Structures are given as structure tokens and as C-alpha cells.
Amino acid sequence: MTSAATKTILVVDDDRDVLSMAEDMLRTMMRYTVIGTIDPGVALRHALMPGAIDLLLTDVAMPLMGGGQLAQEFRQLRPNAKVLFMSAYDVLEVEVYGVKLAPSEPFLQKPFTMDGLQRAVKAAILHGAPRPRARPGRNGATTTPCPLNPMGPSRSMGRVGRYPERQPPETQVRDGVLGGARLRGDCRRLHLPWCPPSRAE
């Protein structure tokens, strides 16, 4: 993984105290390269300039331009960069300001600690990263993470958490947690490479 020292974070907050604190934490304690501004327009001008910007860390409610609009315009200029929203409002309240977070999208709740900031920044940088490639399993079979349980197999789900490519589903999936018609419906909806046949088939 790329070290923090090679990552550049653009921080935008209209509160100078919060901006200064975030800059100090990121630059001094975490060794990131930091660009800070209270003006979203200035942030967009930075996005137009040469040089890397790996993450936009922006407040949600700002008088000159909301964080949602800023993120939208920033993503057009820097499509490969990540965005992390921060706010004193919770994840539901920020929707009023045009920010709708995905279920797994990181969010930084104010007030934050250094540990909280560090965890949120790392999660945001990794968010949306490509999934691991398939790797050999038992007997030479190739296993990939199952979309029904992307974190892998667990004790509660038994062998349902992973499935072999091009192998009959009966060898990995048993009736119970996911079986029968429910499994057929889930795997077809998710376009899995195989599905158990229905009775009509």
C-alpha cells in the first residue's frame, strides 16, 4: 500500500478552527500532504492545477457552496480521487444538503478525534478499491468472494460465503441459510456465473 506521505488531501471547511485542526492532524500526526482552504471555489481551482489529489475532505454545510455540489464538480475534474464528507449533522440529516451516502461509504462525524479522522481517511482512500482476484482453492478449484457475503465465509454461514467457479452449486451450497428458490432468485438477480436449476428446468 502507498504510504501516507505520498498521499495528498484537499481539505475544505468554512470554520477556520476546524480546518486548522484537521490540517495539523493530517500533516503533523499522519504525515499526509495537505492543501487547506475555507473557499470551495479555491478548492476547485486546486483541482484544476497539476499534481496529485488523492482525497477531498469537505464539510457538508458551507455558505459559499455546499459540500455535495463541491464533491460533484470535484469528481468531474478528478474522477479517480476519493471524497470524504464531514459534518456535525448525522448521515441522515446531511441528505437535506444534497449528500446521499452509499451504505458502505465512510463519513466523518464532527467533532472528531485524531483516531477517528485517521480511520475515516484510510477507509475513504480504500473505498471502492478493486476486489481481490480469484485465487486457487482446494483441488485446484478457483474461489472468489461471494456477493451474498463479500467478507468471506463465516461460522454462522458455513460454506455459503464462497463458491467455486464452474462447479455445481450443490457441492458448496446446502439447503438452509440460502437454498432452493431463494438461492435461485438471488444468484440470478446478482448475475452469478451459475445458478441451481429450477424444477421446471
Residue whose C-alpha is closest to residue 145's, from 158, 132, 127: 132
* Ranges of each domain in the chain: 4-126, 135-189
Residue 147 confidence (pLDDT) above 50: no
Over residues 47-82, the pLDDT tens digits come to 999 999 999 999 999 999 999 999 999 999 999 999
Q: Which residues, at least 6 apart from 123, have a Cβ–Cβ distance to it below 8 Å?
A: 106
Residue 138 confidence (pLDDT) above 50: yes
Q: Would you state the pLDDT for residue 149?
A: 46
Residue 5 — very low, low, confident or very high, per pLDDT cuts 50/70/90?
low
Residue 130 — very low, low, confident or very high, per pLDDT cuts 50/70/90?
low
Would you state the CATH architecture of domain 4-126? 3-Layer(aba) Sandwich (3.40)
Q: Would you state the pLDDT for residue 132?
A: 56
Q: Which residues, at least 6 apart from 64, have a Cβ–Cβ distance to it below 8 Å?
A: 14, 39, 40, 41
Over residues 155-178, the pLDDT tens digits come to 333 333 333 344 444 434 333 343
Q: In what order do the strands lie in the sheet with 162-164?
A: 135-136, 142-145, 162-164
Q: Round to whole Å and give the CA distance between 121 and 159.
A: 34
Q: Would you state the pLDDT for residue 128?
A: 76
Q: Would you state the pLDDT for residue 155?
A: 39
The pTM of this model reads: 0.64
